[in-house]
Structure 1
Amino acid sequence: MRRSLEVLAVLVILGVLGVLAAAPAGSQLRIAGSQEPTDHIWYGVGALVPSRQESRNFSEVVLCMQGDGAATITGVHFREGDGLVIDDFGVREYTHRASGIGVDVTKGTLTSAGFTRTAVTAACDEADRATYFGYTLRLTSDRGWGRWMVLDYAIGERVGQLVIPGEMAMCVGTDSSGCRPPDEPLT
């Protein structure tokens, strides 16, 4: 019995060391080329839709790995927002020689555009690969907005968050004049 417990203890220790080796402490998901963290909004995205049932796909952020390992995005949400939700998300790797990098925002799904829930493995200093993050926005009211998109991710057993400093707005109709987030962040 004692020998079995000793063997079990060694296996547990080896398992823990294996998890730690698979998820280096300094590794993290990053926005390619960024000087994170930031406290200001970098960009904004807006869209008009004919009805609440319409959704829109976007892909304008390139992600990369700082350090070793692979990051799997496990969830996405807005830190601030109202009336706008993220229905789907995924990543797609491109070589820098590829063309047609964006997602067609007028039709299709992220899956039909080649975006999947696979891990981000491209290193931040890698010159020949890029991993684009794509997401689908949907309204829950006639006007919606979101700010500070938060990506939850895992590297092995370690979890983290990456905040994309952007604003998104989507509205039903044809008039874009009032389709934007509030001027001041919520507190």
Structure 2
Amino acid sequence: MYSRSASPYQNNNGVRSLINPPTFIEYKRLRFLIVDAPSSNNLPLYITEFERWNVTDVVRCCDATYPKEPLNERNIQVHDFVFADGEAPPSSIVDSWLQLIEARFGKQGQDQPSDQKLPCIAIHCVAGLGRAPVLVAIALIEEGMPSLDAVVYIRERRRGAINKKQLKYVENYKPRSKSQCILM
């Protein structure tokens, strides 16, 4: 049954929350929050979630639907890694993505006090089902997870993620990091 509330962003208790919940992905030193695209109207709800997860960066894989300033005011950096809907990312976007991951998670754990909250990167496309999960899959592969395992890991947490064309790209993706071990 449809429940009427004062706002489309309220649950039955009247508490404002996101319509589509974020998906937390954690693997080894990496922490990501996959979301759908915020709008100017609901950005405060996303900011609340981002602060809850200690988000330090937001990656937009689609055209901007909200201003950067409210996030920047909270020391959350916004990065525009825009590429075509339903497609695999171009090499330049992958390069920028991997640089961000290295900058945010590179020496994590070695120099941080154990009581400090770990950083998290929030990432979104329009629905959070294609472009954003593909970039997260690339990060997991770079961290040592087999490509198809990365897709399954993400899909278990975010149903419908990664289309057939993107799956083929992820399946054929070769890690660029030098830390990968090759057994012969």
TM normalised by structure 1 equals 0.25
TM normalised by structure 2 equals 0.25
Higher RCO by CA contacts (8 Å cutoff, separation 6 or greater): 1
Q: Between Structure 1 and Structure 2, whose CA radius of gyration is higher?
A: 1
Instruction: Considering fraction of residues, name the structure with more strand.
Output: 1
